Structure 1
Amino acid sequence: MKKLLGALCLVLFAAPSLAATFTFTAIPDEDESRLVERFDKVARYLQQRLGVEVMYVPVKSYPAAITAFRLNQVQLAWFGGLSGVQARQLVPGAQAIAQGHEDQYFKSYFIAHHSTGLQSSPQLTDAIQGMSFTFGAKGSTSGRLMPEYFLRKRFDKSPEALFSRVGFSGDHSMTIAQVQAGVYQVGVVNYLVWQNEVAAGKVDPEKVAVIWETPNYPDYQWTLRGDVDATFGAGFADKVRAALLELDDPELLAAFPRESFVPASNADYAPIEDVARTLDLLQ
């Protein structure tokens, strides 16, 4: 009997540890090595704050991030506006819990190779028609959804009808590299990635420049599954939210880059959902 009770206790004490790892991911919107460096540091911070093992799980694409969240392979994700809306539709109870201060007023930059002769302008110029153009990832808010919305609003044409060739680079860093190299004449990027690349000396102003910036819209956010309390204990969701909102390490914030994280809700992303439905990008 004692052996049986001992074995049972081992099972009972071991069982929580099997489910004790809290996992999270992020949309791959930049160079993968940079993302791993950034989010491994975030994992260490969250582990210290939450008192459970925390692991960052890298993914290769925006759809892979959404799938991992849907299948509960990760419980938390750093999504863009569109990918967050798509993920929350697939996981009842999922909530946007925090966003960067800057994500309340996000924008995209349209950039052009110097050979086009395009200059900075208060509106999209007619001269971009017929040029080659690249978005970022197909599921990117700042690299596809909102830029396409503004293009259609300005020209009343689809991108395919507007440009001679339309591409999808996969991420913002690659968009900058391709336009700078002249692979595409014009492209569109997340403004914070552009600023980061400029600061890092990876943008040659003699080859590529910003020609237009979009109006503001909501974008990135942390989205949490609604069943984490059942898995990790009562109040765990509140602990995650507090840990993110209280993150004040300048090095971690600079890596995003964000000034701070502020509260977010699903309702904040209603404009993104509306545009996505207009462009038929939701199931």
Structure 2
Amino acid sequence: MLSKWLLRSLLLMLVSGAVNAAPVFVFTAIPDQDETKLQQRFQKVADYLQQQLEVDVRFVPVKSYASAITAFRNNQVQLAWFGGLSGVKARELVVGSRALAQGVEDPEFKTYFIAHKSTGLKPADKLEESLKGKTFTFGSKGSTSGRLMPEYHLRQQFSQAPEKTFSRVGFSGNHSRTIALVESGAYQVGAVNYQVWESAVAAGKVDTDAVSVIWQTPTYPDYQWTARGDLDAVFGAGFTDRVARALVDMNDPQLLKSFPRKAFIPAANEDYEPIRQVAKQVGLLD
């Protein structure tokens, strides 16, 4: 039987080990594409950040945009690759949180409206009246490019909610799924992240005889890396700036291609003020 002294010693050792254990830096990303692609792409990012930051870095996948925000709010993750809207929501929930970096493409992002060939819809400079009565799918309910901005422009053009413009409105869950649903004819029209569309077309994964782009939105700010405001308190002074530098310095072509981005540049919270204002107008933000 262990003596009281030995038990106390073991307890002290365990407590000391827990106290002295180095914190793990955990990040996630909104699930804007299928999970397999996300896991492959962000595990490579985790390896890169671990090398640059010299701390244990782990990527944790989430099932939805909302769960990415919840994980960030609850400190289950300290960094996230958010869309414009999800980033705005997350930063409002965690005091001091900062947008650190964005792709060079992200200040001028856009959404494509795609249509099945059976609709007879052709490329146009504006949203045509002939869209009315069609079936339409957004992406995720929390997506900037797949829901917020296309809904905003639909409301601007038709002066009513999408549910009154279309005969049926759905939410596919992600951009890859939106393309598949419109290509198959399950929905006649859909809104999709232009980068996901162009990557899928370049990879030969879209039947462009069955589905094509009919309109694109004006540009808007979108994706960004956002960090919690308490990183320096947990990982040491200057850690947040080190994370920002590591992200901006990410120049491996294979890493960048997986986003896809040509490079990363600094970002700031105020860059996403237009998204916050639009979200309020559409009713997706209080």
When the two structures are superposed, what TM-score results if normalisation uses the length of structure 1? 0.96
Deviation at 1:5, TM superposition (A): 8.9
Partner residue in 1 for 2:68:
65
Aligned partner of 2:19 in structure 1 is 15
Q: 1:189 aligns with which of 183, 188, 192?
A: 192
What is the RMSD computed on CA atoms of the aligned residues?
A: 1.6
Q: Deviations over 1:152-173 (max 9, x none)?
A: 1111111001000000000000
- State the partner residue of 1:129: 132
Match of 1:256 in 2: 259
Matched residue, 1:234: 237
Q: Shift in Å at residue 132 of structure 1?
A: 0.2
Code of the residue aligned with 1:15 in structure 2: it is V
Does residue 1:110 correspond to 2:117, yes or no?
no
Measured in 2, the distance between the counterparts of 1:216 and 1:16 equals: 48
The aligned amino acid for 1:260 is: A
With normalisation by structure 2, the TM-score equals: 0.95
Which of 29, 37, 42 is the equivalent residue of 1:39? Answer: 42
1:15 Cα deviation from its structure 2 partner: 2.2
Q: Determine the C-alpha separation between the residues in 2 that align with 1:264 and 1:38.
A: 21
1:199 aligns with one of 202, 215, 224: 202
Q: Distance in 2 between matches of 1:7 and 1:239?
A: 36
**SS of match in other structure, 2:107:** helix
**Counterpart residue identity of residue 53, structure 2:** L
Closer, same or farther: CA 11–128 of 1 in aligned 2, 3 Å: same
| Structure 1 Cα separation of the partners of residues 162 and 42 of structure 2 | 34
The alignment partner of 2:105 has SS state of helix
2:266, 2:140 → 1: CA distance? 26
Higher alpha-carbon deviation: 210-219 or 150-159: 150-159
Letter in 2 for 1:106: F
Q: Distance in 2 between matches of 1:173 and 1:81?
A: 19
1:267 aligned residue (256, 263, 270)? 270
What amino acid does structure 2 have at the position aligned with 1:151?
A: L
2:250 equivalent among 238, 247, 252? 247
1-structure distance, mates of 2:160, 2:10: 71
> Of 157, 161, 165, which residue of structure 2 is paired with 1:162?
165
User: Match of 2:47, as an amino acid?
Assistant: R
Q: CA deviation at 1:16?
A: 3.6
Unaligned runs of at least 5 residues, structure 2: 1-5
CA distance in 1, matches of 2:16, 2:212: 61
Partners of 2:164 and 2:80 in 1: CA distance? 35
Partner SS, residue 232 of structure 2: helix
Pairing partner for 2:94 from 64, 72, 91:
91
CA displacement, residues 14-63 of structure 1 (integer Å, 9 cap, x when unaligned):
5242x521000000000100000000000000000001000000000000
State the Cα deviation string for residues 202-242 of structure 1 (Å, max 9, x = none): 11011000000110000000000010111111111011000
Residues 259 and 16 of structure 1: CA distance in aligned 2, closer, same or farther (over 3 Å): farther
Corresponding residue for residue 151 of structure 2: 148
Q: How many residues align structurally?
A: 281
Structure 1: distance between partners of 2:133 and 2:164: 9
